[in-house]
Chain A
Amino acid sequence: MNAFRTIFKKELVDSVRDRRTIAMIMVASILTGPLVLMMLNSFVAKLTDKAEAKKVQVSGMQHAPTAINFFQRQGAEVIAAPDDYLQKVKDGKLDAVVVFKAGFEDQLRAGKQVAVEMVFDDSRSEAGPSIGLARSLLNGFGREQGVLRLMARGVSPDVTNAVKVENINVSTPKQRAAMLLFFIPMTTLILCITGGMAVAIDSTAGERERGSLEPLLLNPVKLTELILGKWSAVSLYASVVVLLAILGYVLTLLYMPIKLELPISFGWQQFGLFSLIAVPLAAMLGAVLMLIATFGRSYKEAQTYASYVITVVSFVPAIAIFGSVKDAFWQLLVPVLGANMVFMRVLRGDAVGLEHFAVPLAVSTVVTVVCLTVISRLLRKEEIVFGRT
């Protein structure tokens, strides 16, 4: 195992001297936590402000006193919309405006169906709560008027309302914002790769490109030791970087003077749980990177392959969220997807058990062993060591 130690040490020293790369990676990992959290926080703060204030913008208030009265009874604050509301909505300065036209009240009294306009731009997601509020107020008002009309004719309102829907929305705006939490697993997963990438490529494709692989293989060292030494250095870098990033999240939440608007808990306990998933994953991704970099004919080609891996990995959390993949055991068996699921559960404060850590660890171990075995096979091949035509 002496050769293993020698190789591990050499790879560490060699890459530590690659100052620019190392500095960039370290800074990036430390800054990730604060930046992502501040971004999410300000977004959620806006969202909750709007929804909690329950404000509704109305144009032509004077044409619809009954409706206004209903709105106010529902606890909404009615605000007169400015005359150029159409432009303001287009510009994103107003979220939704309810427009009552002249004659609204008369037609309502006459028992006719009256048109109301709602002006909004649903392409801005933060307008969602205001639009929802305006719509539900109008629906509620319409229902109440319908019931009154039926009663006036001596018909029970139940005739029309075969089903009575009672909306009990238990989710708070904060919880809806939890969708956005996937940014945290996403950055964590990406940083599992970036830390080890330079070393993984340099010690495989780079070694061949600079012509140091052939002389290295002339030493009486077992390939297993050689590969394990290099992989350990890659894993160490990857782990340090991802741990720094997680630490960044924890420290930001613990010590930064920002009021937490996010529905998450991220303290020392979560740091531990995240690490249990992140470290084996970083080690596994290091082995994967080394494998694909061994295939790369040059440093550049290996970098291209590595960027494909980063792309795939970074899409996993978004796919899981927007594809509404339900938490399930099978996910734990899929590398990266399983890690993402456990990250999200930890963030949301859902229960996590032994299987949430043991299964990804086992999967990572298997993938790592397979990758390292394939690398040692490859390094026995002449066309890999001496280049291919």
Chain B
Amino acid sequence: MIEAKNLSKHFKVKGKPDKVAVADVSFTARDGQVTGLLGPNGAGKTTTLRMLSTLIEPTGGAGRVDGKDIRADAMAVKAAIGVLSDARGLYTRLTARENIRYYGELRGITGATLEARIEKLAALIDMTELLDRRTDGFSQGERMKVAIARALIHEPKNVILDEPTNGLDVMTTRSLRELIRKLREEGKCVVFSSHIMQEVSALCDDIVIVSQGRVVAQGDAQHLLEISGKASLEEAFVHLSGETDHAPTSPTSPTSPASTLSPTANQGMMQ
């Protein structure tokens, strides 16, 4: 389970006021569910996920993974998650297998267990024939597959995927969706970010719409349609993410966590 509570992040920028990348984000991603972080470019999705995966320290708020605090217990959090980060560079002089093996060994998995897992993951995301090629010259989709495999090599209970379908063709996107569904069936907690409504709605049990660093709406696809009063999800998304200026009063359902944010969200805006 991944919880974000009033997370905020201000970046120092030389000669300018701080850049507020994330103003106030709260959500809970439950086990056995796929939670989508949906938002336009620059909404603060990557920054939020980086805070949750302990790479950057929040300016305010708190985060927990399986109950462990992202600040106080960073090592335990890292051990409990598998992350496909925004940056997904590979070592081009190593083969795909060696790239994945490296991450496995860094997490203490070795020998036959490790080799078996590599084979299993490769079969799952259809990259078996790529395994023993050096990753130099891999296509974007092939690189993505390796990055996904190495992020999941330790079979993490919590999975964070930052725009996993970026640059993937239809076939690969499909097999990725299959993989995400499989992870859900296994009872894992999956969070993934995207700026494409259709993609999120096709997969997610819970959608968190982020705009300008704030959660502007949260719920399943049906709920989002209702509160926006629009016919299509795309319309709903455009409508909701444009709502940011009066986000605190946005008509989210009373049970939605987003509705509890209003007071702090207001403060964030004033700075």
**Chain A interface residues toward B at CB < 8 A:** 2-3, 6-7, 10, 13-15, 17-18, 207, 210-215, 217-222, 382, 385-386, 389
A217 pairs with B55, CB closer than 8 A: yes
Task: Tell which of A207, A214, A220 touches B85, judged by Cβ atoms closer than 8 Å.
Answer: A214
A212 pairs with B55, CB closer than 8 A: no
Q: Please measure, in the bound complex, the distance between the C-alpha atom of A217 and the C-alpha atom of B86, giving whole angstroms.
A: 13
B83 pairs with A215, CB closer than 8 A: yes
Interface centre among A2, A7, A215, A217 (most CB of B within 10 A): A215
Q: Which residues of the other chain, A, contact B108 by a CB distance below 8 angstroms?
A: 2
With A17-B93, A220-B79: A215-B106 Cβ-Cβ less than 8 Å: no
Q: Which residues of the other chain, A, contact B79 by a CB distance below 8 angstroms?
A: 220
A13 pairs with B98, CB closer than 8 A: yes
Task: Tell which of A212, A218, A221 touches B90, judged by Cβ atoms closer than 8 Å.
Answer: A212
- Look across to chain A and name the residue whose beta carbon is closest to the beta carbon of B80: A220
Q: How many residue pairs at the A-B interface have CB separations less than 8 Å?
A: 75
With A6-B106, A13-B94, A385-B55: A218-B85 Cβ-Cβ less than 8 Å: yes
The contact string, 1 if C-beta is below 8 Å from chain A, for chain B 144-171, is: 0001001100000000000000000000
Q: Which residues of the other chain, A, contact B92 by a CB distance below 8 angstroms?
A: 210
**Chain B interface residues toward A at CB < 8 A:** 11, 13-14, 53, 55-57, 75-76, 78-79, 81, 83, 85-94, 98, 102-103, 105-108, 147, 150-151
With A219-B106, A382-B56, A389-B14: A211-B98 Cβ-Cβ less than 8 Å: no
B87 pairs with A215, CB closer than 8 A: yes
18 chain-A/chain-B pairs, Cβ below 8 angstroms: A6-B102, A6-B105, A10-B91, A13-B98, A211-B87, A211-B88, A211-B89, A212-B89, A213-B87, A214-B55, A215-B88, A215-B151, A218-B78, A219-B106, A220-B76, A220-B107, A222-B75, A385-B55
- Look across to chain B and name the residue whose beta carbon is closest to the beta carbon of A212: B89
Task: Tell which of A7, A207, A214, A219 touches B78, judged by Cβ atoms closer than 8 Å.
Answer: A219
- Look across to chain A and name the residue whose beta carbon is closest to the beta carbon of B104: A6
A215 pairs with B85, CB closer than 8 A: yes
- Look across to chain A and name the residue whose beta carbon is closest to the beta carbon of B143: A211
By DSSP majority rule, is chain A's interface helix, strand, loop, or mixed?
helix
Q: Which residues of the other chain, B, contact A2 by a CB distance below 8 angstroms?
A: 105, 108
Q: Which residues of the other chain, B, contact A207 by a CB distance below 8 angstroms?
A: 89
Q: Which residues of the other chain, A, contact B81 by a CB distance below 8 angstroms?
A: 218
Closest CB of chain B to A205's CB: distance in Å? 13
Q: Please measure, in the bound complex, the distance between the C-alpha atom of A176 and the C-alpha atom of B75, giving whole angstroms.
A: 63
Q: Which residues of the other chain, A, contact B76 by a CB distance below 8 angstroms?
A: 220
Q: Which residues of the other chain, B, contact A14 by a CB distance below 8 angstroms?
A: 91, 93-94
Ranked 10 nearest A-B pairs via Cβ: A211-B89, A211-B87, A212-B89, A210-B89, A220-B78, A214-B87, A17-B93, A6-B105, A220-B79, A219-B106
Q: Please measure, in the bound complex, the distance between the C-alpha atom of A18 and the C-alpha atom of B108, giving whole angstroms.
A: 27
Interface centre among B11, B14, B85, B150 (most CB of A within 10 A): B85
Q: Which residues of the other chain, B, contact A3 by a CB distance below 8 angstroms?
A: 105-106
B89 pairs with A215, CB closer than 8 A: yes
- Look across to chain B and name the residue whose beta carbon is closest to the beta carbon of A221: B106
With A210-B89, A220-B75: A10-B150 Cβ-Cβ less than 8 Å: no
Q: Which residues of the other chain, B, contact A13 by a CB distance below 8 angstroms?
A: 94, 98
B53 pairs with A218, CB closer than 8 A: yes
B83 pairs with A218, CB closer than 8 A: yes
Q: Please measure, in the bound complex, the distance between the C-alpha atom of A222 and the C-alpha atom of B74, giving whole angstroms.
A: 11
